[in-house]
Amino acid sequence: MVYYIVSSYQNKQGDIFLNATATNDLGLNSSTNRVEILSAPINYGNLGEALAKMFQDCIRHPHWTEEVDGSVEEVLGIKPYSKFRKLHLNVIIIMDQEKNIYTLKPTIRKNNGYVSEGKDYIILSTDSNYDSLGEAVIKAFQSAR
């Protein structure tokens, strides 16, 4: 299975932050310093296009290196992580290249992080237009807590 992950975050003002991930030496996805910031009000098409570009970045640079070491909270300057988590909702977005689908997974805040409970998933074709993709991301945030 060939897949890539972008973590998306939304603050209370409605701004959205997209964070490309990369695979580390253990085979796990790790956060990077590659972040796209979209200010509210969010345009579906702009969000979908920015997300598609982030996935292209994941495809071009799939492996984690020290050059991309970082996280969205570091890029935004919000520390500690517990403060960032309290201020932001999270949706995990997976692009499966073999199945040609995006899977959007809303998460809930739990313990010291975010957890996907395996429900409220949204699945879209990778052929979806930017407006449909952006609208699905906004809808997924409505299920995140």
Q: Report whether 32 contacts 58 (CB < 8 A).
A: no
For residue 1, pLDDT over 70 is answered with no
At 57-104, the pLDDT tens digits run: 999 999 999 888 888 888 888 888 889 999 999 999 999 999 999 999
Closest CA relative to residue 51, chosen from 145, 117, 135, 118: 135
For residue 117, pLDDT over 90 is answered with no
- C-alpha distances out from residue 21 to 47, 129, 142, Å: 18, 23, 23
CATH among 3.30.565.10, 3.40.1590.10, 3.40.30.10, 1.10.1270.20 for 3-143: 3.40.1590.10
Measured CA to CA, the distance from residue 12 to residue 56 in angstroms comes to 28
- Return the domain boundaries, the chain: 3-143
Is the pTM for the entire model greater than 0.85?
yes
Measured CA to CA, the distance from residue 61 to residue 141 in angstroms comes to 27
Mean local confidence (pLDDT), 34-51: 97
